[in-house]
Structure 1
Amino acid sequence: MPLTTLLDVQRLRNSDLEVGIIQENAAAAPELAILPSRSIPGMNYRTTVISGQSGGGFRQANAGVALGKPTYEQRLVECFLYEHDVELDAAAQAASLGDSVADLETIELQQGALTVMQKAGRQIFYGTATDPLGFSGLKQFVPKTAVAGSSSFFVDATGSTANTASSVYAVRAGLKDVHVVFGGGTGLNFGEFIDQQLTDANGRKFMGRVCGLTAWIGLQIGSVNSVGRIGNLTTQTGKQCTDGLLAQLVSVFPVGAKPTHIFMSRRSAFQLAAARPKTVYFTPGVSNAPGGTMSTTDYTVADYLGIPIIVTDQILDTDAIE
């Protein structure tokens, strides 16, 4: 793997200590802060899901009613191992100590943690399409055409331009619905840096400092009522994110089980803001005649009918058309 060089160390030394390090790799993953999470002692567990209704109804004397029973199903929730290894040249680490902004070990661990959060966030939405060795995601649970065990809460925006599609997700977050699971009774584990011999591209050895970041991560999607999705959103006229599409999406959730959050990309958030009606306010005491002072409301997408809208960089605008 590419290693930090002594030139990188010199750049750290020349940095202003008050400003610190400016993070340009800032693809946010707010879903991990929004969705509830918990740790479990093992690496998997089973949920019991009830569907269907018991039989019963009004009847006449000496006449029976149709009998029926609910269906009980057990579903497996699994955690998958994620690992991010940090390797440093021991000489570069030693050179970073002293008057630099921070030592390389601290910086590289922070970068590693950021990478884990971003990749786990992307996995939540795209599942095994992001990494086939990880857990299934929300998009896989709400396909355009529902199959057994998946949600039918799909709204088609009918965009058609190839590789420009995006999705908006309505999620019911909670212990019985959607939440992140960490296995092994822990969360993200930061190991201790140890001395270890490393190998360069030519097979030559040198001493390094090595640390591993590991986590067992999974995603529970409680039932078919836990997630809905608008798909095939593009930049085409009439195929963009609007309040009308959000209304259609929210309307398919059962009464009493409405989504708690709506997740979308920055592009979808802009489309929604641009489509929302704007209110113009004239300055108090100033005529609204030509030349009057006025201001407009901000472009805002804070919520839809009280449901918070979360904008995330982990939802792409380059999906294939479904």
Structure 2
Amino acid sequence: MRAAFSVGEKQLLYGTDNESDGFVGLADASNLDDSDDAQVINAGGATACSSVFAIRSVDELSDLALITGQDGNLEVGDRYEQMVEGTNGKYPAYCQSITGWMGLQLGSVHSVARLANINDSTKMLDDDLLSDLLSLFPSSRPATMLVMNRRSLKQLQQSRTATSSTGAAAPFPTEAFNVPIIVTDSISSNETQLTAA
């Protein structure tokens, strides 16, 4: 089940860049070569890039929502054994089918924004870049979450100065500008640089 949810999460984030015959994802909706360039901030990195997504998802049909078929149920089949071809010959493996339907609804251009081309040397994540990203949303429809990977979270933490009586470092942030941070390993630290067409 963890593997199935991981595949679904990557599809949600990267869409057709993850699986070309899968559903459209957040990256598809926020690329520099699309008509929605206004929803993308370019941090300026060139290699080993990553992204942060700002998302607006509330209980309204006009914002981002994950759409699931079969009333949101996943069907899990019986486990069975099957011979699988490996690099050193065939071996027995346990298999199990898991089926379901999911897609992504983007209610408006203000459902998602992307901070692209963050790298691990010169163009790292900080509060200034997050402020630029969040400013892409109108005040009547603000972002409700920021989604990033652990490298970006570390960069944000290290960009902040903490003063304490013990000299302890700043803690890992859980929010930025009152917007909660969600951390996922499904955002790559090796994205190809996003460039305008």
TM-score (norm 1): 0.54
**Residue type matched to 2:28 in 1?**
Q
Distance 1:249 1:209 in 2: 45
Aligned length: 186
Deviation at 1:185, TM superposition (A): 2.3
Deviation at 1:200, TM superposition (A): 6.3
Note if 1:220 corresponds to 2:105.
Answer: yes
Which of 117, 121, 126 is the equivalent residue of 2:9?
121
Which of 270, 275, 283 is the equivalent residue of 2:159?
275
Note if 1:299 corresponds to 2:171.
Answer: yes
Q: Which has the larger radius of gyration?
A: 1
Deviation at 1:210, TM superposition (A): 5.9
Alignment partner of 2:71: what SS? coil
Unaligned runs of 5+ in 1: 1-112, 202-207, 282-293
TM-score (norm 2): 0.86
**Residue type matched to 1:212 in 2?**
S
**Residue type matched to 2:153 in 1?**
A
Alignment partner of 1:155: what SS? strand
Distance 2:76 2:172 in 1: 38
**Residue type matched to 1:131 in 2?**
E
Deviation at 1:316, TM superposition (A): 0.4
Structure 1 counterpart of 2:143: 259
Unaligned runs of 5+ in 2: 86-92
Which of 146, 152, 169 is the equivalent residue of 2:34?
146
Structure 1 counterpart of 2:185: 313
8 Å contact from structure 1 (residues 151, 228) kept in 2: no
**Residue type matched to 1:276 in 2?**
R
Note if 1:135 corresponds to 2:19.
Answer: no
Note if 1:156 corresponds to 2:42.
Answer: yes
Q: Hey, which bits of structure 1, 4+ residues long, moved more than 3 A?
A: 198-201, 208-211
Alignment of 1:1-322 (within 5 A): 113-147=1-35, 150=36, 152-160=38-46, 162=47, 164-174=48-58, 175-176=60-61, 177-193=63-79, 198=82, 211-237=96-122, 239-281=123-165, 294-322=166-194
Deviation at 1:144, TM superposition (A): 1.4
**Residue type matched to 1:302 in 2?**
T
8 Å contact from structure 2 (residues 160, 170) kept in 1: no
Deviation at 1:301, TM superposition (A): 1.2
8 Å contact from structure 1 (residues 151, 224) kept in 2: no
Q: Assess, with a 3 A threshold, how the Cα gap between structure 1 residues 277 and 213 changes in structure 2: closer, same or farther.
A: same
